């Protein structure tokens, strides 16, 4: 129904009244001219009609997720621990996920760890950031994006002689048998912590480590390593337990078995021994292995490495005096040596 105009008595100013598509109008035309009043009424009718038939405004675009949003979701899903992520959160919290680039990550890594080695930045920053961004991609919080990790510096192999290993085993106290197993098998700490009795032969001669980084492998233990095994339990129980009699658990971001590492570091510090971690025992075992067996292919298979290039750095350690010391400390029994070419047990 069109709007109507009426002239007010006294002032002579026109007023516009009526309803257009349910919208009530009652306002002054602000003119004494009838023509101008009609023109204003027409303008109001046109404006209301256009508003009535205009398409609805689209919903506002949702704001993108920030890195902090991804961290919260990551933690709520049961991954990681807040105290491990604090330095990372402080650097990237307000960054929109879709705006994070390789340049952003590299700059923040240097900002947070200006004097650190690349290996430290990899462990403290790149690894947790990669884990969180991978999780965010899986939750569709951002587009797929792969971080390029910087290559760590090449460094000398950090290994221990059998005599040095002996001192470390003794310093570990109740965890000495566990440490003996690490030095005697060269397994990764996660492989040892996850080993169950179903993967140990009835007499403790052979163990099987299932797929971790590259391949599954089985081999015979030397007599000394077999003697370090704890009392056998049910087949589904873990072989190695912590000082509280419970299976080792993973902590941190990305999750890792940090308990054995921390225990070994503390023991070395208390007894004024060289800084040693479970991975040092793996390097040591590889060095002893090559000194004893002298075959890179055997070392690659027994250690579960994926390429010969990864084991080449141990070959310069294959001296006769090291071979003699390895045998003197009981790590290689004749006929039962891990990797012994006459009695190979690797599968």
Chain segment 295-338, per-residue pLDDT in tens: 888 888 888 888 787 888 888 777 889 999 999 999 875 334 34
Total number of domains in the chain: 3
In 34-151, DSSP assigns E strands to: none
Q: Do 205 and 251 sit in the same domain of this protein?
A: yes
Does 208 map to a domain?
A: yes
Least confident of 34-43, 80-89, 316-325: 80-89
Does 345 map to a domain?
A: no
Mean pLDDT of the chain: 86
Does 153 map to a domain?
A: no
What is the reported pLDDT for 333? 56
Q: Do 38 and 113 sit in the same domain of this protein?
A: no
Structure tokens at 330: 């009981």
Among residues 259, 248, 256, 253, which one has the least CA distance to residue 80?
253
> 327-334: long-range contacts (C-beta < 8 A, 24 or more apart)?
327/292, 328/162, 329/162, 329/163, 329/165, 329/166, 329/224, 330/222, 330/223, 330/224, 331/162, 331/183, 331/184, 331/222, 331/224, 331/225, 331/288, 332/222, 332/288, 332/292, 333/222, 333/223, 333/224
Does 38 map to a domain?
A: yes
- At 51-61, the pLDDT tens digits run 888 877 766 55
Name the residue range of residue 197's domain: 162-328
- At 226-238, the pLDDT tens digits run 999 999 999 999 9
């Amino acid at each position: 129904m069109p709007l109507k105009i009426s002239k007010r008595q006294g002032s002579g100013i026109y007023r516009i009244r009526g309803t257009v598509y349910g919208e009530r109008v009652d306002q002054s035309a602000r003119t004494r001219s009838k023509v101008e009043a009609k023109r204003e009424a027409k303008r109001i009718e046109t404006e209301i009609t256009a508003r009535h038939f205009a398409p609805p405004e689209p919903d506002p675009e949702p704001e993108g997720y920030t890195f902090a949003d991804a961290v919260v979701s990551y933690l709520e899903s049961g991954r990681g621990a807040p105290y491990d992520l604090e330095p990372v959160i402080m650097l990237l919290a307000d960054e929109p996920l879709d705006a994070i680039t390789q340049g952003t990550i590299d700059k923040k890594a240097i900002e947070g760890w200006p004097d650190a080695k690349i290996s430290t930045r990899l462990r403290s920053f790149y690894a947790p950031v990669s884990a969180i961004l991978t999780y965010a991609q899986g939750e569709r919080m951002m587009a797929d994006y792969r971080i390029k990790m910087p290559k760590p510096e090449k460094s000398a192999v950090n290994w221990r002689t059998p005599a040095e290993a002996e001192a470390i085993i003794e310093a570990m106290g109740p965890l000495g048998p566990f440490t003996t197993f690490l030095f005697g098998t060269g397994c990764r700490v996660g492989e040892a912590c996850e080993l169950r009795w179903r993967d140990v032969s009835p007499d403790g001669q052979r163990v099987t480590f299932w797929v971790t980084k590259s391949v599954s492998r089985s081999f015979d233990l030397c007599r000394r390593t077999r003697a370090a095994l704890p009392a056998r339990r049910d087949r589904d129980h873990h072989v190695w337990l912590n000082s509280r009699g419970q299976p080792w658990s993973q902590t941190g971001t990305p999750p890792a078995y940090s308990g054995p590492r921390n225990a070994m570091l503390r023991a070395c510090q208390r007894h004024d021994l060289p800084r040693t971690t479970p991975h040092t025992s793996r390097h040591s075992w590889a060095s002893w292995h090559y000194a004893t067996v002298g075959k890179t292919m055997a070392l690659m298979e027994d250690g579960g490495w994926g390429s010969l290039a990864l084991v080449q750095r141990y070959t310069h350690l294959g001296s006769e005096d090291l071979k003699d010391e390895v045998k003197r400390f009981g790590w290689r029994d004749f006929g039962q040596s891990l990797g012994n070419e006459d009695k190979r047990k690797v599968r």
